[in-house]
Amino acid sequence: MNIEPVDLRVVDKRTANVYEAIIVSAKRARQVNDEQKMEFNALLSTVPPPATGEEDGEDIQNPAQLKIAMELENREKPHIQAIKELLDGKIDYEYKK
């Protein structure tokens, strides 16, 4: 996986304050991460447990569970997604009064 730096001058052009933009994108990344966790847990609840007599479960690999985990792991990371949303102008924020 390649690391792509974010040019802060681009962020500065699109926002009033770079530091506020970083805080906003961090909060959005947390939201995205929470959404992905909820989706992952919902998908895991549909996976049947392995059909073995052992209750240990840690040594047993469930192919359906592995497939779900790999699909979610191959997605874009929450912080990258949040920065892209910020740069595309998809995130609106305002100050509390």
Please name the amino acid found at residue 36: Q
Give the mean pLDDT of the chain. Answer: 84
What number of residues does the chain have? 97
CA angle 25, 42, 27 (to 5 degrees): 10
Q: What residue has token string 């924020």?
A: 93
Q: What is the pLDDT of residues 75-93, one digit of tens each?
A: 999 999 999 999 898 988 8
Helices and strands in the chain, H and E counts: 4, 0
Query: Which pLDDT does position 61 carry in this prediction?
Result: 75
Would you give per-residue pLDDT tens digits along the chain (97 residues)?
577 788 888 888 888 888 888 999 999 999 999 999 999 899 888 887 766 655 555 556 788 888 888 888 899 999 999 999 998 989 888 878 8
